[in-house]
Amino acid sequence: MSAGAERHQLVERLRDEIRRIERRPARRAGALACGRPEIDALLPEGGFRRGALTELAGGRASGKTAIALALFAALGPGDLAAYVDGRGELYPPAAAALGVDLARLLVVRPPPRTSAEGPARDPALVALWAAEALLASGAFAAVAVDVPVARAVRGADAAARRLQAAAEKGGAVGLWLAAVGGTALRVPVAVRLELTAEDGRIVGRQRHAADEAAWAGGASLLSRAAGVRGSWRPRVADPEDGDAA
């Protein structure tokens, strides 16, 4: 099967699933708070902006997944959430313990890659295509994307650029869960937050354009005195969920 046919088939399957769950709602506007004041205070509108991507960056156990799940738990009773789990590490019991309604959560995991598959069928690209379809669908209030992909992967940059446009089209809150520095794919986003765990708390800092050089080199920005910071101590942590600090 060609890469184009595979992508079309994936998008059609996602559309069928979306139609099965509920009808497409009207376009959303405004922002969604995750219910954690110290984190929401870092965001320009007091919450994660609808129709835009926000980057949550940090190392393992930094709290990226925990903040994404806190946002899902804060959604209204009629709202759907989706999690593109490119790592295969999302632990549903931990999500439920944080208040996420699993009946309103769609988890998408790309199939494993086989030796016969070429770069166009890289699981990371499949996951990015799925994220694009979910964000653009209009059926989900929030979509978290946890897909480890290097910039060197062919087609990854183009797929990443389409994510912001998809979020704008569908009106969803898009969360891009990223590592700090290194060769990881850079995605155009509206706001970037760096998260770290300190003394059992999730500490966040909003990164501005002046921080780009240090960020690209993987330097820690939390040691700087400047910048806005906030923290949240999670109520529940599970050892099997590496990011739910």
Q: Which residues are CB-contacts of 21 (< 8 A; sequence separation ≥ 6)?
A: 80, 106, 139
Q: Residue 31: pLDDT above 80?
A: yes
Whole-angstrom CA distances from 169 to 9, 163, 207, 215 are 21, 10, 25, 29
CATH code, domain carrying 121: 3.40.50.300
- The pLDDT, as a whole number, for residue 135 is 96
CA atoms of 141 and 47, how far apart (whole Å) = 13
Q: Residue 173: pLDDT above 60?
A: yes
Q: Which of 146, 244, 241, 238 is nearest to 197 (CA)?
A: 244
Q: What is the pTM of this model?
A: 0.74
**Which pair of tokens denotes residue 40?**
């929401």
Report the share of the chain in percent with pLDDT over 70: 73
Q: Is residue 82 part of a domain?
A: yes
Residues of the chain by 3-state class (helix, strand, coil), percent to 5:
35, 20, 45
Model confidence band, residue 208 (pLDDT cutoffs 50, 70, 90): low
Model confidence band, residue 4 (pLDDT cutoffs 50, 70, 90): low
- The residue range of the domain holding 47 is 3-18+31-232
CA atoms of 52 and 4, how far apart (whole Å) = 26
Report the share of the chain in percent with pLDDT over 90: 45
Q: Which of 111, 102, 54 is nearest to 81 (CA)?
A: 102
Look at the chain and report how many structural domains it folds into.
1
Taking residues 98-108, report their average pLDDT.
Answer: 96
Q: Is residue 198 part of a domain?
A: yes
Q: Is residue 72 part of a domain?
A: yes
**Which pair of tokens denotes residue 116?**
């016969």
Q: Is residue 243 part of a domain?
A: no
Lowest mean pLDDT among 34-38, 62-66, 152-156: 152-156
Lowest mean pLDDT among 103-117, 133-147, 204-218: 204-218
Q: Is residue 213 part of a domain?
A: yes
- The pLDDT, as a whole number, for residue 198 is 85
Q: Is residue 128 part of a domain?
A: yes
Q: Residue 121: pLDDT above 90?
A: no
Q: Is residue 238 part of a domain?
A: no
Q: Is residue 244 part of a domain?
A: no
Q: What tens digit of pLDDT does each residue of 188-206 get?
A: 898 999 998 888 888 888 8
The string over 129-153, giving b where at least 16 C-beta atoms fall within 10 Å of a residue's C-beta and e elsewhere, is bbbbbbbbbbbbbbbbbbbebeeeb
